[in-house]
Homo-oligomer: A and B are copies of this chain.
Amino acid sequence: MKRIALAGIVAAFVAASAQAADAPSAAASDWRDVDPQNLVLLDTRYGQVAIELAPEFAPINAARFKALVRAHFYDGKSFYRVIDGFVAQGGIGEGTAATKDHPKDDATNTQWPQLKAEFDRPIGNDVIFTPLGSPDLFAPEVGHVDGFPVGRDAKESRMWIVHCPGTLAFARDDKPDTASTEFYIVIGEAPRRLDRNLSAFGRVISGLQYIQKLERGDPDVDSGVIHDAAKQDPILRVQIAADLPAVAQPHFQVMRTESPAFAAKKEEKRNITSTFFFRKPPAILDICLMPAPVKRSGP
């Protein structure tokens, strides 16, 4: 009796997967530990999302996000604007007047100032940029810095985190320096037009699948805002891993994107040799299909 040789499908699809993270040949030196001070744990009703912040790209915005987290600002708020294929936006949203206030500084009773935009940063020697080695439609050059997907313009001497699925950034009003508390996570085909127009300051390193489960708004009605609070998925809790007791802290490692192991992974994906591919695909990498692999250890 004929059976479907699923094993074949499975093995072949592994080669094509965007997510297959394992690299058995990678040495310990090919990985770096995620600093618990930059590790954000966001609890949804579907599971915990882990985000690595990138203070080297947006120090003011990353620091503000951490401060808001530590002030428990987001706990009990919601994802109130979720557009399938685009972004999930969270924060205080369309709540009552009281919940729409900015946080106040307890000591001085003054409101926290709006955020200075950090849409890009200078190319500098403090970080290692590793070129992807494939052309890109939106940036003169793309590659990775510390596991983050990055665009670079050598002429302007600027670099920036690009909008891939999982990129974390602050929303804002029309003017550049108008972000305050509302954030978004990219959940769809990379909206690269947003690059250098918003302050991107982190990426989801685990649990993006839980963000994908969030209740969606109707993109044709009020730009995807979910007005019925009962339908909004809550942000149950957000914490910085460093604030948890040591035994309760999850540990993540990100493959060093300047490592030989990552270079090998890129070449494996760029030049596909699996016999599953009847027609050899163009030897092109998409920056957003080449995320730095992540490993989890600990609780």
The 0/1 profile, CB within 8 Å of B marked 1, for residues 224-256 of chain A is 110000000000000000000000000000000
Q: Is the CB of B212 within 8 A of A4?
A: no
Q: Does any Cβ of B come within 8 Å of A8's Cβ?
A: yes
Q: Is the CB of A216 within 8 A of B209?
A: yes
Chain B residue nearest to A188 (CB atoms) is B18
The docked-state distance in angstroms from the alpha carbon of A83 to that of B10 is 11
Q: Is the CB of A281 within 8 A of B84?
A: no
Query: In terms of DSSP, what is the predominant structure of the interface of chain A?
Result: loop
Residues from chain B with a CB closer than 8 A to the CB of A208 are 84-85
Q: Does any Cβ of B come within 8 Å of A6's Cβ?
A: yes
Q: Does any Cβ of B come within 8 Å of A9's Cβ?
A: yes
Q: Does any Cβ of B come within 8 Å of A273's Cβ?
A: no
Residues from chain B with a CB closer than 8 A to the CB of A144 are none
Residues from chain B with a CB closer than 8 A to the CB of A81 are 10
Residues from chain B with a CB closer than 8 A to the CB of A288 are 189
The 0/1 profile, CB within 8 Å of B marked 1, for residues 4-45 of chain A is 111011111110111111100000000000000000000000
Q: Is the CB of A219 within 8 A of B21?
A: yes
Knowing A189-B189, A277-B197 touch, does A94 contact B6 (C-beta < 8 A)? yes
The docked-state distance in angstroms from the alpha carbon of A297 to that of B36 is 51
Q: Does any Cβ of B come within 8 Å of A131's Cβ?
A: no
Shortest Cβ distance from A285 into chain B, in angstroms?
A: 9
Q: Is the CB of B197 within 8 A of A278?
A: yes
Q: Is the CB of B209 within 8 A of A2?
A: no
Cross-chain pairs A/B with CB under 8 angstroms, 21 sampled:
A1-B101, A4-B102, A4-B182, A13-B223, A17-B86, A19-B219, A19-B224, A84-B209, A84-B212, A137-B137, A137-B284, A138-B282, A138-B284, A165-B188, A176-B278, A187-B212, A192-B281, A192-B286, A197-B276, A197-B281, A212-B212
